[in-house]
Amino acid sequence: MPWDPLSEEQREIRDLVRTLTRERIAPRAAEIDESGDFPWDMVELLREHEIFGLAFDERHGGANAGSLMLLVAVEEISKADATVGLILAVQELSSLALRLAGTEEQQDRFLPKVASGEWIAAYALTEPGSGSDAAAMRTEARLEGDEYVLNGSKRFITNAGVAHLYTVFAKTDPCAGHDGISCFVVEADAPGFEIGRIEPKLGIKGSTTGEVFLNDCRVPAANLIGAEGDGFKIAMRVLDRSRPGIAAQALGIAQGATDYALAYAQTRETMGQPIVDHQMIAAKLADMETKCEAARGLLYKVGVMIDEDAPDLTKYSAMAKLLCSDVAMEATIEAVQILGGYGYIKEYPVERMMRDAKITQIYEGTNEIQRLVIAREMVRENRSSALTEVG
């Protein structure tokens, strides 16, 4: 019996998501990948069953089911379709700044629409010249009367062009580095807000990824989240809580590929026996399953930590994202190998899963950055060795 920290109520929600995934999402996965169109019908499905609101407070129309439950839902959906899993994960990511640092007035104004799925949300931090180095961002915001005027551009923004609400980071003090970054809510119909190129991609093709241009974009001063200069701190708090969402997406891909490869290996015969009986195939499946289960244990631990507002979240969040995404890449490559030539053609889903898996090692902070974060946090812990002192 797998380790399961979920309550009975949470298991019921998981069962609902599993049923929706099997009956409604899985049959659409290949078509979404082939067309590259944003799946509004899947958005409507999540709206209809109130999946968007899982982690939101009840006062904003949510279920208050917690971050762990949200991670489980993203994982379950991503077993069939990483694009739809990402839609749910990014809705969480894009609302976190408001939930963590927004005023009650801001929260009451915006969060009910995001929790219901009436509005799709996006998170605009990355720029053409600043990905992992947020201090290098060039987008600026200046206060004019009761409005901020934003100028600059953002790149690789998930949900660009389909989102109604964007969490945007800009420098209110260009000379102050990280301390000069501020955070804003920008509605898609704001004057001066424009969408640029939507990128053709290797995977997660039904999810839009594009450019955002802010050309004298005017937003009310009341749309500043936190105080001027709080933006970088807000962004880091958000990422500590959103990286596990990408980890859940990655784990879902990994488990979905493992399950499919197992089913295939049980029916495909060579040399008079199912290939699952061949030692090399069995060993691959065993490794895939073991790594998925290990990654799940870490991911669920992080979900519990978020719900308990644990103080050492940064390291564990980075570890979960690192491990789950590496396992996703490994498991999908092995799944393609197990299917052989069939694994390389679009008729079978594992080639799509392999393409989808790659991005999980890149966005929400590359895995190289995750390793730096983990090592930095280890040093800060100032742990003592059980052995004799070094040096």
Using DSSP's 3-state secondary structure scheme, residue 383 falls into coil
pLDDT score, position 390: 59
Tell me: domain 121-231, CATH 2.40.110.10, correct?
yes
pLDDT at 391: 59
Average pLDDT, the chain: 96
Task: Return the ∠ at Cα 356 (arms to 353 and 357), rounded to 5°.
Answer: 85
How do residues 32-77 score in pLDDT, each as one tens digit? 999 999 999 999 999 999 999 999 999 999 999 999 999 999 999 9
- CA nearest neighbour of 159 among 168, 171, 150: 168
364 is catalytic: yes
Measured distance CA(298)–CA(324) in Å, rounded: 9
Coil, helix or strand at residue 124:
strand
Catalytic residue among 76, 140, 211, 364: 364
Q: Which three-class secondary structure string do you get for 150-197? A: EEEEEEEEECCCCCCEEEEEEECCCCCHHHHEEEEEEECCCCCEEEEE
> What is 8-116's CATH superfamily?
Acyl-CoA dehydrogenase/oxidase, N-terminal domain (1.10.540.10)
What's 252-299 look like in SS3? HHHHHHHHHHHHHHHHCEECCEEHHHCHHHHHHHHHHHHHHHHHHHHH
- 237 residue type, one letter: R
CB 29 within 8 A of CB 206: no
CATH architecture for segment(s) 232-380: Up-down Bundle (1.20)
Mean pLDDT by 10 residues, the chain (391 residues): 80 97 98 98 98 97 96 98 98 97 98 98 94 86 98 97 98 94 98 98 98 98 98 96 98 98 95 95 98 97 95 95 98 98 97 98 96 95 75 59
**pLDDT tens, residue by residue, 323-358:** 999 999 999 999 999 999 999 999 999 999 999 999
Q: Where are the domains of the chain?
A: 8-116, 121-231, 232-380
Q: Are 164 and 119 in contact (CB under 8 A)?
A: yes
